Amino acid sequence: MRLLKKLMPPDRWKLPVIIASGIFVGLGIFSFYISNAPSYLGDKPETCINCHIMAPQYQTWVHSSHREVTNCNDCHVPHNNLVNKYYFKAKDGLRHATIFTLRREPQVIFIKDEGREVVHRNCIRCHAELITDSRLLAYNRQTHEFRMDRRCADCHRETPHGRVNSLSSVPWARVPLPGSIVPEWLRKPSTQHQKLTTHETSSGNN
């Protein structure tokens, strides 16, 4: 109770504080809604194209064999535990959102070292048998060294996104567009507005 009393503003400041708090809470809810934030809690690949700069990555994934068995988070998010998964998603997502909001995104996107390590570990998680299968040693005596001393992407760098990296290389990439954030009641003109518009048009023609 003492702490609450200390936090409470003086009586003359209560109304301005309530109004300011309401504005900040409203802006927070609006930002949460306009950014389609709830979609980032799931694993749908379409979430990644909320920002148009990811269109080439989405399109190349759709045309790859990985489309049948994986989504974006299967490769680009840690899976060692649930806390680390969502911590990495939040940290990476906030960085992406900040860069995109400030319009500082590059034409060509390159994965960061931390993200590269995550992808490498997920390659091993799904394809562990290709690393542990001793029968592969029959192909080449150096196979073991090749498998253990380098990253998967050193050889498979075009999997699954190919060589397409920039927005300008696929300007017409067909991707599912995010739905409109404008409420239905705002998108449809009111009946009264339609009547006024019709009346003005008729008067102008006369």
What pLDDT does residue 26 have? 93
- Determine the Cα–Cα distance for residues 192 and 65; give it in Å rounded to an integer: 53
Domain boundaries, the chain: 45-194
Categorize the per-residue pLDDT at 40 as very low, low, confident or very high, splitting at 50, 70 and 90. confident
Tell me: pLDDT of 189 over 90: no
Q: What is the pLDDT of residue 164?
A: 65
Q: Does position 65 have pLDDT exceeding 70, yes or no?
A: yes
pLDDT band at 41 (very low <50, low <70, confident <90, very high): confident
Mean pLDDT of 42-54: 82
Q: How far apart are CA 172 and CA 48, in angstroms?
A: 17
Alpha carbon distance 58, 170 (integer Å): 11
Per CATH, the homologous superfamily of domain 45-194 is: Di-heme elbow motif domain (1.10.3820.10)
Token pair belonging to 17: 């504080």
Closest CA to 108 of 180, 67, 58, 164: 164
- pLDDT value at residue 197: 53
What's the CA gap between 46 and 54, in Å, rounded?
10
Distance from first CA to last CA of the chain, Å, rounded? 72
Q: Report, as an integer, the average pLDDT of 39-60.
A: 82
pTM here? 0.69
Does residue 173 register a pLDDT over 80?
Answer: no
**Chain segment 99-143, per-residue pLDDT in tens:** 888 888 887 788 889 999 999 999 989 988 877 776 766 666 666
Based on the number of CB atoms within 10 Å of its own CB, is 187 exposed (0-12), middle (13-18) or buried (19 or more)?
exposed
Whether omega before 178 lies within 30 degrees of 0, making that bond cis, reads no
> Tell me, what's the pLDDT at 142?
66
pLDDT band at residue 24 under the 50/70/90 scheme: very high
pLDDT surpassing 70 at residue 14: yes
Give the pLDDT confidence score for residue 165 in this predicted structure. Answer: 66
Average pLDDT value for the chain: 79
